[in-house]
Amino acid sequence: MSYKPFQYLKCSSAGISTTNTQSKLPLTEDESGSLFTVSGDTVTINGDGVYAINATVQVQSTVQRLQTTLKVFVNGVYDGVERGGSYIRNAGTSYDFWSMNFYTLKTLSSTDTIEFYISAVQGASYGGTSSLNYSVNSTGNEFIIERRQ
């Protein structure tokens, strides 16, 4: 097999459905390669380098004014930047969705781990009401991890 500088991931077929919590996205390899391995919801990098991470994640909800964001954790530590915000505005009677996109560069070492978390805000409440119900569409997303150098 020849070396490819990129590899694809996606949320597992089950997707996630959550209320009031920050949740790890369950992942699976969409295409095999040598850049990383995936186990459950954790990506393990196979070589030192600068990696570009590009993702699109589709979120669905019946909640009005729901905002979601993605967070990246490297070796279990949140990097401090919320990415890819989405805003679902509906009348409360429909089932609306929105796609979030993000791109980031990370300098990673072999055996470093990456995890992606999703969280939600409604109005002034950050995961603090019983109405923050949303789900990740398992077919409306993709993650591309590319080794840049």
- Local structure of 66: helix, strand or coil: strand
- Local structure of 10: helix, strand or coil: strand
- Contact criterion met (CB below 8 Å) for 10 and 24: no
pTM of the predicted model as reported, rounded to 2 decimal places = 0.80
Determine whether 89 is exposed, middle or buried from the number of CB atoms within 10 Å of its CB (0-12, 13-18, 19+).
exposed
CA–CA dist 125, 66 (Å, integer): 10
* Each residue's pLDDT expressed in tens, for the chain with a length of 149 residues: 455 677 777 776 555 666 556 788 888 777 777 888 888 889 999 999 999 998 888 887 776 777 778 889 999 998 887 776 666 776 656 667 778 888 899 999 999 999 988 877 655 555 444 456 677 776 778 888 889 87
From the list 41, 55, 48, the residue with the least C-alpha distance to 147 is 48
* Predicted local confidence at residue 91, as pLDDT: 62
